[in-house]
Structure 1
């Protein structure tokens, strides 16, 4: 007669909800469902726990938000003004870096050659290195084309910094023009996202090298 291992049932959902709450509160970075499941008892349902947690925190000063494929607690957007006196780190990007970042965000996965084709000028290695070092851009999969060029994509840190759940939440051309971030001239050629020439679609007009573009 062999000993039969009887698995323990997963904890009740209200307990799982508390577990997810504790894990997200203690984590310095957003956590995916896979991250949560790896730390929770076998048989737990982190997806349902996240759903319940989202309902519990809806409308509170701290809310549960999705960051790419991960989840985190963030200050409610309408209370952001309370944090104005906090000391923040200012990140300065050149015009080239700003345009490159926008192209990656709107056209990812995109190769260096494709970035240069859209901008109409060469992209220096330092520009992409800077964006990678900031944690806003990372290497993607290599293209299955001659030379197998590497592609570039934005990171969850980029989405988190700009309060985006995914790249689908990026503003369109109409929204950018309405906010005064693009001139109102019609594009010379139709293309998805921001696929206008760099000359005819300055992502942020007046953004000369060294301008303060992205502040935490």
Structure 2
């Protein structure tokens, strides 16, 4: 058996036994400083067509059920947890603009954000405290977590859909279009006109 084969098996065993996703440098340290990136790439290719896949989410590697088989492992009765519109908007703002403070979230949404809204997102494991802004008052700032990327099947925040993709999928209503303008994700004048119409309607 070659040295590479031994390394592949060692990386595979390390990830299989890990209780949480691991960064490449963490795996490397566990294996005496070996360069594990080629092994990770080869393992990912090996598992791509199998019942479990090796995936990288937010720079961390872990095994997950192949997406097309996930339905086989779901419990018959699932607890449905729906986010309020306020929580959904706050999560979107954090994801697209992180790190952001509560005041910045409120400035974009145009309304106050209850502390419980951010608590719900942190309890879900999708948002974390990322430190404090170095300005007077040193407000707490928030960012997304690797669990957020994993839950939504994103390798990184660069994979977040653009406004054009959301519109093509029919996920934007007129209010969302105006909201997109306010968040800086749209810049065409026609949508700005739509935002004015929403304001006048209010």
Scaled to the shorter chain, the TM-score interval is 0.7 to 0.9
**1:102 pairs with 84, 92, 97, which one?**
92
Aligned 8 A contact 1:164 1:170 in 2: yes
Aligned partner of 1:36 in structure 2 is: 27
- Bigger Cα displacement from structure 2, 165-174 vs 74-83: 74-83
SS in 2 for 1:90: coil
Aligned partner of 2:199 in structure 1 is: none
Is 1:19–2:42 an aligned residue pair? no
**1:113 pairs with 68, 82, 103, which one?**
103
Q: Which has the higher contact order (CA 8 A, sep 6+)?
A: 1
- Listed as ranges, the gaps of 5+ residues in structure 1 are 1-10, 201-216
Over 3 Å counting, the alpha-carbon distance change for 1:123 and 1:187 in structure 2 is closer
- Bigger Cα displacement from structure 2, 101-110 vs 24-33: 24-33
Aligned 8 A contact 2:125 2:148 in 1: yes
Distance 2:186 2:18 in 1: 35
SS in 2 for 1:54: helix
Deviation of the 1:85 alpha carbon: 5.4
Is 1:77–2:48 an aligned residue pair? no
Over 3 Å counting, the alpha-carbon distance change for 1:193 and 1:59 in structure 2 is farther
Aligned partner of 1:56 in structure 2 is: 46
- Listed as ranges, the gaps of 5+ residues in structure 2 are 196-202
Q: How many residues align?
A: 188
SS in 2 for 1:91: coil
Distance 2:94 2:71 in 1: 30
Aligned 8 A contact 1:67 1:166 in 2: yes
Please list, as runs of the form range in 1=range in 2, the aligned pairs for 1:78-93 lying within 5 A after superposition.
78-83=68-73, 86-93=76-83
Distance 1:43 1:102 in 2: 38
TM norm structure 1: 0.76
